[in-house]
Structure 1
Amino acid sequence: MYLFKKMITASLLIIPLVISANSFAFNMPKEFASLGVKTLSNKDVFSKQASFIKSERKATSNNIRSSILAEFSNWKGTHYRFGGTTHKGVDCSALMQHIFSDSFHKSLPRTTTQQIQNGEHVNKEMLKPGDLVFFQTSPGTRHVGVYVGNNEFIHASSCVGVTISSLANRYWMDHYETARRLKMIG
């Protein structure tokens, strides 16, 4: 499926170039105009291509969000346990390992200290579903969750277990440290 999407995207990038380079070959005879047949200008072709690529990116973000939320439903309400890695109790970094492994076949290191070293830095304003969000909860202690859109993230909270929280919550705003985007697709 991934290869098919790449081929479609490549085709959409090449076709306008071919049409542009050979536009004289696509000038329709005036007789067709009377039949209601319309031609597309290069501007129209590029505009449609750009909107297709934007919708393709959005579909990918929606797919990532859906996959993460589906995995969340398997863990929702699981109690927090420091060092825990199972449904009997899980900590924040182990939850991220499970979500990424089960949703995307992506292996993550075990601890937040290791996880924060993966991926590329992302500004808070540019977060997308699937980005890891990190918090400095106390000196030398980090917390991690995964962003799911709508200013929300999934994490294993020491208070309520596996849950969804808002980045707009005062506590998370005050303790936000950074975010990382992992290469999951492609």
Structure 2
Amino acid sequence: MKKAKKYLILTLPLLFSGCSLSLQSAKNLFNSSNNTNTISIKKEYEPQKSEIAKALLSQYHEWKGVKYRYGGNSKNGIDCSAFIQRTFKSKLNVKIPRTTYYQSRVGKKVSKKEAKVGDLVFFKTGKNSRHVGIYLDDGRFIHVSRKKGVIISTLDNVYFKKHFWKIQRVLEN
């Protein structure tokens, strides 16, 4: 019983840390006869991001925090549709229209369940206003917020849940 408690105490932090260490690896780690104070952990699995995801995250890091400006198209200020157009052109070498209205008509409509990295996510934010972002994964998307500039948000956010409109697939990935 003491051994089980010790094992549980030693493995709980690993289970909740989000690392990719398997339970079997944890058992092997703590049952080893390693007499040194340092322990080497080999990651068994680390998911690889797609090239599209890497390109989008690169764009995010280059533009993170750049403020929103209606009609803007530079790091002095940019609006959502300009950011989408610029990202697709510079990172994916894909030409898409400049405005949210025309961007919403490119590609084919897909469900939230079918969303893939690079899909365009649209929101109806007013009677005649629309907002667009680029889907990353796990309900996350990159976009230009009016308050926070270029950021990553989630579709589960109360505001975005309420205003969600549709997802368009532009890329065949």
TM-score over 0.5 for the pair = yes
Return the alpha-carbon distance in structure 1 between the equivalents of residues 110 and 60 of structure 2: 23
**Deviation for aligned residue 1:171:** 0.5
Q: Give matches, 1:1-186, under 5 Å.
A: 62-183=50-171
Structure 2 gap segments, 5+ residues each = 1-46
Deviations 1:149-174 (A, max 9, x none): 02100000001000000111010001
**Deviation for aligned residue 1:86:** 0.4
**Deviation for aligned residue 1:71:** 1.1
Deviations 1:99-143 (A, max 9, x none): 101111101111000000000101011111100000000111000
Where does residue 19 of structure 2 map in the other structure? none
Where does residue 48 of structure 1 map in the other structure? none
AA of the residue aligned to 1:101: K
Structure having the larger proportion of residues in helix: 1
**2:118–2:171 Cα contact (<8 Å) kept:** no
Return the alpha-carbon distance in structure 1 between the equivalents of residues 157 and 50 of structure 2: 24
**2:80–2:144 Cα contact (<8 Å) kept:** yes
**2:68–2:149 Cα contact (<8 Å) kept:** yes
AA of the residue aligned to 1:151: G
SS in 2 for 1:82: coil
Give every structure 1 segment of 4 or more consecutive aligned residues whose post-TM-superposition deviation is greater than 6 Å: none
Return the alpha-carbon distance in structure 2 between the equivalents of residues 147 and 134 of structure 1: 10
AA of the residue aligned to 2:71: G
Question: Percent of pairs identical after alignment?
Answer: 39
Structure 1 gap segments, 5+ residues each = 1-57
| TM-score of the aligned structures, taking structure 2 as reference length | 0.70
AA of the residue aligned to 1:181: R
| TM-score of the aligned structures, taking structure 1 as reference length | 0.66
**Deviation for aligned residue 1:184:** 5.2
Aligned residues: 127
